[in-house]
């Protein structure tokens, strides 16, 4: 039996909500950093990531049986998987903190986590409006532009943070470790921008 009741736009929003939970957890971890608690925190983050994976499987399961989806089938499958990338990227930050044995958090990392929270909150607002894009409303586009702007601020932060790192008197191991961590943080914003841009592309394609 075909299922016509699945709400794909709700699924997109719920995927972003997973990223919001991940971003807030990262922000909390960095601001109250305890390297001895990282194991438990990583498990916490993994539960969020696992919930997103389950939602992807649920969405694709319905999509296979769907006779006439609200937008192109390929667009739904591509977007639902793309929206999982920010959560994966945020989880990768915790792995980096653990692998490189980071014992203290640099202030630039806190600034990054705050930008990530701001960007994912804006993407969430875009995802709520996304279902109305065929009505000619521009609210989604406005939010997408804001995500792009936040990512641009992240690029500037990354340049300044790396510059500060390599002009410091830190030991080489610390410099290498923080280069990796900062790169992972910057990638979080890249994935959020990529998700927003894909949403915009799908809007244009399905008008």
- Domain extent listing, the chain: 8-206
Q: How far apart are CA 107 and CA 111, in angstroms?
A: 7
Is 19 in a helix, a strand, or coil? helix
- The residue-averaged pLDDT of 187-196 equals 98
pLDDT band at residue 106 under the 50/70/90 scheme? very high
The single-letter DSSP state of residue 137 is: -
- The residue-averaged pLDDT of 145-167 equals 97
Provide the mean pLDDT of the chain. 94
pLDDT score at 3: 42
Terminal alpha carbon distance of the chain: 30
- Does the domain at 8-206 match CATH 3.40.50.300? Answer given as no
Residue closest to 203 by CA, chosen among 131, 120, 123, 125: 131
pLDDT band at residue 137 under the 50/70/90 scheme? low
- The residue-averaged pLDDT of 125-150 equals 88
Instruction: Pull the structure tokens for residue 4.
Output: 């016509």
Q: How far apart are CA 128 and CA 69, in angstroms?
A: 18
pLDDT score at 115: 98
- The residue-averaged pLDDT of 146-173 equals 96
Q: How far apart are CA 199 and CA 76, in angstroms?
A: 10
154 torsion bin: left (phi>0), alpha (psi -120 to 50), beta (else): alpha
- The residue-averaged pLDDT of 165-190 equals 95
pLDDT score at 199: 95
pLDDT band at residue 169 under the 50/70/90 scheme? confident
Give 2-34 pLDDT, tens digit per residue.
444 799 999 999 999 999 999 999 999 999 999
What beta strand segments (E) does 74-167 contain?
Answer: none
Residue closest to 30 by CA, chosen among 94, 121, 85: 94
Residue 68 pLDDT greater than 50, yes or no: yes
Residue closest to 198 by CA, chosen among 95, 79, 45: 79
Contact of 12 with 39, CB cutoff 8 Å: no
Task: Identify the sign of the CA torsion 41, 120, 189, 32.
Answer: negative
- The residue-averaged pLDDT of 129-150 equals 87
pTM of the model: 0.94
pLDDT score at 1: 33
Q: How far apart are CA 8 and CA 19, in angstroms?
A: 17
- The residue-averaged pLDDT of 35-60 equals 96
């Amino acid at each position: 039996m075909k299922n016509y009741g699945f709400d794909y736009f709700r699924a997109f929003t719920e995927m972003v909500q997973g990223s919001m939970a991940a971003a807030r957890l990262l922000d909390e971890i960095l601001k109250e950093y305890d390297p001895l608690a990282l194991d438990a925190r990583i498990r916490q983050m993994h539960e969020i990531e696992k919930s997103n994976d389950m939602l992807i499987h649920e969405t694709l399961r319905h999509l296979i049986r769907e006779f006439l989806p609200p937008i192109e089938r390929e667009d739904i499958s591509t977007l639902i998987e793309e929206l999982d990338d920010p959560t994966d990227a945020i989880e990768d930050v915790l792995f980096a903190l653990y692998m490189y044995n980071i014992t203290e958090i640099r202030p630039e990392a806190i600034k990054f986590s705050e930008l990530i929270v701001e960007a994912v909150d804006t993407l969430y607002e875009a995802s709520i409006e996304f279902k109305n894009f065929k009505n000619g409303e521009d609210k989604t586009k406005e939010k997408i532009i804001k995500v792009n702007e936040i990512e641009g601020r992240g690029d500037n932060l990354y340049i300044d943070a790396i510059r500060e790192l390599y002009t410091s008197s830190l030991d080489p191991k610390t410099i290498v470790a923080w280069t990796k961590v900062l790169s992972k943080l910057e990638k979080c914003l890249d994935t959020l921008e990529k998700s927003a841009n894909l949403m915009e592309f799908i809007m244009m394609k399905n008008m």
